[in-house]
Structure 1
């Protein structure tokens, strides 16, 4: 599945099939959350949260792609990500874009 954050596929004519999305709400376990809290005292990257968000983006992207496959799409264009804090140490990640089918050369 071709995934692009631009609104076209270079050199191709496409047919829009519709919006597809995937989302996940994810949190870290208490031990990692406690250590992240301690990290805020000294500064620097909170690696546990970076890992959590990377994993959440991968899950959301896969769910979006699964929706596109169900629509028999060749690609998803105009992909965007959004995030929101649901509660302390939990975040929602949403991936969305437009499922398209390639219908010929431009």
Structure 2
């Protein structure tokens, strides 16, 4: 089962992990240009969803990963993919960057 965390709950989820976690943004480059998250106390890595399989070796399966997209659908699929490929701790950022703008940082544009 994939943990579902809201953007407002991300700091607590990351702090509850035994090692530093990663926020994996799986949106497309044009989406990142429209609205981006600022890394605040966590590492941020952007890999478009369709590139994740080819870049799986860039990720540490022992490291906690929270996955972010626009609304939470793509990130849920990537989180399930990571879990099925041996990643131990994976979460979906429910509501995606749209919820991020509402809950964490209103300066992030909604689209």
TM-score over 0.5 (shorter chain): no
User: Highest CA radius of gyration, 1 or 2?
Assistant: 1
Higher strand share: 1
TM-score when normalising by structure 1: 0.28
Q: Which has the higher contact order (CA 8 A, sep 6+)?
A: 1
Higher helix share goes to which structure? 2
